[in-house]
């Protein structure tokens, strides 16, 4: 049913485009396509990691093995500050990650350092952001952006290279390759 509704909306938008003056379809190549893709869909959120800044509060001590592994990687030190009702950990990140610190606000959809790990309770913390990987578009024939006045299509491949141990801990490996494609309707300009 949803597929039928989407097709009907796309057909309706295409028919309306015929009534618009000077509505032309075009395709962007190379660097122009990369610039346009960054406007529609950025791989940046997949390279930014959100971690507790200095204080982590949780309902159990199940997080301690993860904190211990970060200590072994020489990324932080921690201490248990309070156990009244909730466990409160004071975290001190080492300066080895300072050059990867993100000072501007991170994009929505960011990778979270505890993602993929099941903990029996919720966690609360103020976030600190680190750049976890470099993004490089693949220069191959798969890269394109097509646009009319009512729809946009794009496809691209990119590679993420992990920059640091924190990135690798969250699953960003060296040379991980990704491909993304999308097609969606837009309002006529």
Helix (H) / strand (E) element for 90: namely strand 87-93
Confidence at residue 107, expressed as pLDDT on a 0 to 100 scale: 67
* Three-state secondary-structure class, residue 95: helix
Confidence at residue 54, expressed as pLDDT on a 0 to 100 scale: 94
Structure tokens at 128: 């600190």
Structure tokens at 78: 């921690």
Confidence at residue 45, expressed as pLDDT on a 0 to 100 scale: 65
Residues 111, 48 contacting (CB under 8 angstroms): yes
Confidence at residue 56, expressed as pLDDT on a 0 to 100 scale: 93
Torsion angles phi and psi, residue 73, rounded to 5: -80, 0
Beta strand pairing call for 144-147 and 87-93: unpaired
Q: Which among 105, 102, 110, 100 has a CA at the least distance from the CA of 42?
A: 110
Continuous H helices in the chain: 2-18, 30-40, 64-72, 165-169
Give the Å distances, CA to CA, from 47 to 76, 113, 144: 20, 11, 22
Distance CA 62, CA 89 (A): 12
Distance CA 157, CA 175 (A): 12
Give the Å distances, CA to CA, from 164 to 32, 93, 150: 31, 14, 42
Q: Which among 172, 164, 160, 48 has a CA at the least distance from the CA of 106?
A: 48
Would you write out the chain's pLDDT as a tens digit for each of its 189 residues? 545 534 444 444 444 444 444 577 888 877 888 888 877 776 666 778 888 999 999 988 999 999 999 999 999 999 999 888 889 999 999 999 999 998 877 766 667 888 777 777 788 899 888 988 888 877 666 788 888 888 889 888 888 888 888 888 888 877 778 788 888 888 765
Confidence at residue 101, expressed as pLDDT on a 0 to 100 scale: 92
Considering just the CA atoms, what is the radius of gyration of the chain in Å? 22
Structure tokens at 133: 């990987």
């Amino acid at each position: 049913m949803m597929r039928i509704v989407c097709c009907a909306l796309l057909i309706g938008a295409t028919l309306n485009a015929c009534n618009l003056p000077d509505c032309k379809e075009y395709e962007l190549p190379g660097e122009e396509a990369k610039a346009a893709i960054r406007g529609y869909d950025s791989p940046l959120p997949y390279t930014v990691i959100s971690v507790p800044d200095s204080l982590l509060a949780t309902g159990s001590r199940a997080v301690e093995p993860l904190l211990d592994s970060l200590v072994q990687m020489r990324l932080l030190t921690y201490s248990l500050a309070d156990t009244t009702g909730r466990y409160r950990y004071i975290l001190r990140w080492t300066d080895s990650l300072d050059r990867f610190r993100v000072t501007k606000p991170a994009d929505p959809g960011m990778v979270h350092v505890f993602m993929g790990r099941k903990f029996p309770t919720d966690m609360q913390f103020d976030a600190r952001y680190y750049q976890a990987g470099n993004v490089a578009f693949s220069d191959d024939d798969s890269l394109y952006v097509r646009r009319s006045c009512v729809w946009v299509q794009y496809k691209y491949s990119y590679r993420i290279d992990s920059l640091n141990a924190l990135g690798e801990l969250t699953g960003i490996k060296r040379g991980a390759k990704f491909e993304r494609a999308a097609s969606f309707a837009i309002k006529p300009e």
